[in-house]
Structure 1
Amino acid sequence: MRAPLLSAIALGAYTGGLVLAADVSTLSSCLKTISADVFPGLKAIAVDVWKNPEIGLDEHHAHNLVVDYFTKVRPGEWEVTPHAYGMSTAWKLDFEYRPPATPPNAELPVIGFMAEYDALVGIGHACGHNHIFLNGLAAASMARQALITLGIPARIVVVGTPDEENGAGKCQLQKTDAFRDADVWFMAHPTNANAVQPMNARINAFSDFRAATHKEAVRKAYEALVAVRDLAAGGLPGTASSVVAVEEVGMFECNVVQGEISLGINGSSLEAVQQTVSSILDSTYPGVSFKAAYDTDGGVNLTAIGPGGHASESTKGPLVLTIETFRTLSNQDDISFYLPGNTTLAALDIIFDIRSRYTHDLDSVLSAVKAAIGDKATAIGTDTVYPALEVTPFLPGLFTELMKTPDFGSQTDWPISTFAPASTDAGCVQNAVVDPVSHALLGADKIVFHPNFGICAPGGHCAFNHEPGFHDVAGTEYSYTRTEIVARALADLAVQLLNDPVMMANATGILGK
């Protein structure tokens, strides 16, 4: 049990006068009781979301589940706004609590929570956004009831944010001032290990390859793929930069390493193709295999198969195996290449998923990639920048210490890391300012606390985000118990901040106001 947070006088907490902070020494145990009431119903919604995955901007079922639950099952707890901020699948929950002693003109402290619920094409909730959804709703609902129980005047806002994976939904919402109500925003992301860590910056380069014939277009595209791989091997600009290609064929997602790629080869025997691929395929291609056979297009159909994965990992997957096969065979004049079953189209489009640790380095990485592609591409376009998400002071230490306590499982495996494993559109909410030379964090528009938490049961191998197997992990009973603990911890932090203006000031000190 923590010591009472009686931070003397709540200076600046209200405009209407001086208010003593509440005694929150029983907060953690209080939240356990609250969780027993609120978590099961919210978990049922999250399970429904997991069973019915929807891609970005098509999350109508998930949207309706939230709206119906808080207007029909638990009405009156929140002010519910469906289709919020002009986005059909966004929503907003708003709650404020004013005990009788609260001055009528008091400005309430505010905390925000964010929830995601979009899935991935073909592999469902293989990024576990059903847990981000559940975490946001559960943490906010627990914090809401704790405010009432402990008599703490405050406000809580929850924003449902569509299309994190491809459309940078939070970046679109930020343009509508959706996050203006609070200076501190909480969310948590499931993965295969616990960490409080930054997230890298990301941009996609959509490259179109056109030619007079199908085979010429495929050759141009693969020559560009070879050039970009060579660029990456020689070292990209910036810090921890990467570029990963995704072929726009069949079911694809711009930030997912494809699990199967086919390349047709004319002018070579089946045995020669098999020998070539076997000489390339080694232990640096984890879980990748291939099959080859003559096909109806008149050549050898090489199909590379692998586990897929997250584009941020720069995994040598099936597409890389076909690129290296092309590299080996393309210097033979009598060999040409095609896409099996798709030989009538004189075009092939490639997405280059570009990442770097710091936002200010993205332009130089993008320029290097464009230069490597050169005039092979007919056109190269880009999408919304996902800014890097930085780890801000104060909250990480508070959170990791809280997780060590018995009420949260005495967890000691919560490093505060400098490694950025992936990207998030929450960087648009934070909008960090980083020194381009020292990389010191100088300021931000908002505090975004975004711990990544492990949902894999102890023992054995666990898939990583964007691998098909992670969808199964995200549906396990164990994964939901992990989300309950993290949601309860974020609720604990939220109530502490709302109760104690000194803590809130410490958490928000880096904001550029």
Structure 2
Amino acid sequence: MIRQLLAFSLTAPFLCNAAVSDLSALLKEISAEIFPDLEALSRDVYNHPEISTEEFRTHDVVVDFFATTHPGLFKVTPHAFGQPTAWRLDFENRPSGFEGDLLQFGYMAEYDALIGEGHACGHNHILLNGLASASMVRQAIVDLDLPVHLVVQGTPDEENTAGKNRLQEAGAFDGVDVWFAAHPAPFNSVQPMQARINGRIRLNGATHSEAVYKAYQELLIIIDLGTAGLPGTQSTDNPVEDVGLFSENIVQTEIDLGMTNVSLATVQQTVASIKAADAGYSAVNYTVRTVPGGVAVNYTGPGGHASESTKGPLTLSIETFRSLTALSNDIAFFLPGNNTDTELDITVSCRTRYTLDISTVQNFVASAVQELATSITWDLAYPALEVTPYIPDLFINLMATPDFNETWGLSTIAPAASDASFVQIPVLDSESRDLISTSKVVFFPNFNICAPDAAECPFPHEPAFRTAAGMDYAYSQTEKVARALAYIAVELLTDPDMMAQATAIIQ
């Protein structure tokens, strides 16, 4: 009945605000119908994580869902824009007698997981949010007979090499001015995202011990630079992988470091003293043991995101190296189980608030580490994602209503990076850093998935966040945010003045 009342109130290509007064009830009705099946799809993706550029199963699951299990809802394009694991959903509705251009609206869906950590960044929820919110909007378009072309763009490889950049260059986002997505987090916030660039530092030694020594010297330089202060705003430089173990964009949860010419008791006392002096290491555990050739320490504990200065296993191993080398020049180091390699790599993740500062931070770090390095290779720089005007206020005010009962706010803190910035392409004033214009409007809020009774709420990329991303509460929160985004999307599609204000930043 709700749908009939709303449908019959349509008298023009755009609805007046009064005509969508029951929009919330309509979207609740639609969500109750479509969300359970999409939640099941997301849970399946969660249980079968695939890393960047290898999301073949997820690609097939989504394509099969819309092409075979639920055909006719969207036009389905597999392997979209030449990307093997990208896909695209399109839906067009042209009301009878309507001859103008269709309004364009888009959603982005991410679904890559982390090496060794599964969906510890919760991209299964970004996928679910995009599919669910777009499906709600699709049905509302049908019920309200709106002249709209709706797009859902599957965007693989967010974590590693910026899949959205390749899609943008291929024209995947052309013609659509507004794109929605939402990211699970330990908080509710509308906020910018960092600029980022990762550097791979290659180190060579005449012996394995020399290579490990050089690697840990570089790791010391990296963490000390961050402590002393980097150029730019909110800038960090964090080591994100153990020597010899590649794990892009993740601070490790387990580190093994061996040393010779030192007693087990001395090593035990050294690590214990470091832990006792800094409460930040309280969650890190370690075991000192005798191994062939010397003594080894196995560190385990919280990992984290490359944007965080996490005091975890890797940092504690670096501080152990600092203390032991200060104690004696005779102590040598090795990697247990890998004590022959004379060429090792480490990665440094450089991040800062504004794109305009990323090259300055990169050059500052490169200058500090280049003396020991055989080579430094930098990956693609992710621009910062900016918060555009108007839509954030709509969303925050909507979430405070009784239908959602959520407290949200705007923040100037950039907690991580996102390749959605390649879609937005923001332009800032070089002096004030004020946002001047964008190529597209990208709205990408962070939403809390940790239950109110949770003892703690971890940050994305920590192992505990993977657990949170699989809980029922996380899925219910995704439904709520998806429904809110659908509400705003329909508002924009039914009110030309609102759409004009939302897109005024575009040039």
TM-score relative to the length of structure 1: 0.94
Partner of 1:483: 478
Matched, 1:174 2:168: yes
Partner of 1:198: 192
Alignment: residue pair count: 495
Matched, 1:402 2:398: yes
**In 2, Cα distance between the equivalents of 1:265 and 1:274?**
12
Is residue 248–residue 348 contact of structure 1 (8 Å, CA) maintained in 2? no
**In 2, Cα distance between the equivalents of 1:47 and 1:431?**
32
Q: Find the residue that maps to 1:284 and give its secondary structure.
A: helix
Is residue 252–residue 258 contact of structure 1 (8 Å, CA) maintained in 2? no
Aligned residue among 285, 307, 312 for 2:302: 307
Superposition pairs for residues 51-90 of structure 1, below 5 Å?
51-90=47-86
Is residue 286–residue 316 contact of structure 1 (8 Å, CA) maintained in 2? no
**In 2, Cα distance between the equivalents of 1:28 and 1:250?**
53
Q: CA deviation at 1:248?
A: 4.5
Partner of 2:361: 365
Is residue 429–residue 446 contact of structure 1 (8 Å, CA) maintained in 2? yes
Aligned residue among 334, 347, 359 for 1:338: 334
Of residues 428-437 and 185-194 in structure 1, the stretch that sits farther from structure 2 once superposed is 428-437
Superposition pairs for residues 16-27 of structure 1, below 5 Å?
19-21=13-15, 23-27=19-23
Partner of 1:213: 207
Partner of 2:224: 230
Q: CA deviation at 1:180?
A: 0.7
Is residue 240–residue 348 contact of structure 2 (8 Å, CA) maintained in 1? yes
Aligned residue among 456, 460, 464 for 1:465: 460
**In 2, Cα distance between the equivalents of 1:119 and 1:423?**
15
Matched, 1:268 2:262: yes
**In 2, Cα distance between the equivalents of 1:41 and 1:211?**
55
Q: Find the residue that maps to 2:198 and give its secondary structure.
A: strand
Matched, 1:150 2:148: no
Partner of 1:48: 44
**In 2, Cα distance between the equivalents of 1:473 and 1:353?**
25
Deviations 1:202-257 (A, max 9, x none): 11000000111111111111111112222221110100100111334565422111
Is residue 301–residue 340 contact of structure 1 (8 Å, CA) maintained in 2? yes
Deviations 1:159-192 (A, max 9, x none): 0000111121111111111111311000000011
Q: Find the residue that maps to 1:265 and give its secondary structure.
A: strand
Q: CA deviation at 1:285?
A: 2.0
**In 2, Cα distance between the equivalents of 1:402 and 1:496?**
12
Partner of 2:492: 497
Deviations 1:356-379 (A, max 9, x none): 011111111111111111220101
Aligned residue among 346, 352, 368 for 1:350: 346
Partner of 2:410: 416
RMSD over equivalenced CA pairs, Å: 1.8
Q: What one-letter code is carried by the residue in structure 1 that aligns with 2:144?
A: L
Partner of 2:450: 456
Is residue 115–residue 248 contact of structure 2 (8 Å, CA) maintained in 1? no
Q: What one-letter code is carried by the residue in structure 2 that aligns with 1:308?
A: G
Gaps of 5+ in 2: none
Deviations 1:77-105 (A, max 9, x none): 111100001011000000111111312xx
Q: Find the residue that maps to 1:158 and give its secondary structure.
A: strand
Residues 249 and 328 of structure 1: CA distance in aligned 2, closer, same or farther (over 3 Å): closer
Q: Find the residue that maps to 1:312 and give its secondary structure.
A: coil
**In 2, Cα distance between the equivalents of 1:360 and 1:487?**
33
Deviations 1:244-293 (A, max 9, x none): 11334565422111001111111110111111111111202241121111
Gaps of 5+ in 1: 11-17
Q: Find the residue that maps to 1:375 and give its secondary structure.
A: coil
Q: CA deviation at 1:435?
A: 1.8
Q: What one-letter code is carried by the residue in structure 2 that aligns with 1:259?
A: T
* Seq. identity, %: 54
Is residue 50–residue 130 contact of structure 1 (8 Å, CA) maintained in 2? yes
**In 2, Cα distance between the equivalents of 1:452 and 1:291?**
37
**In 2, Cα distance between the equivalents of 1:475 and 1:279?**
37
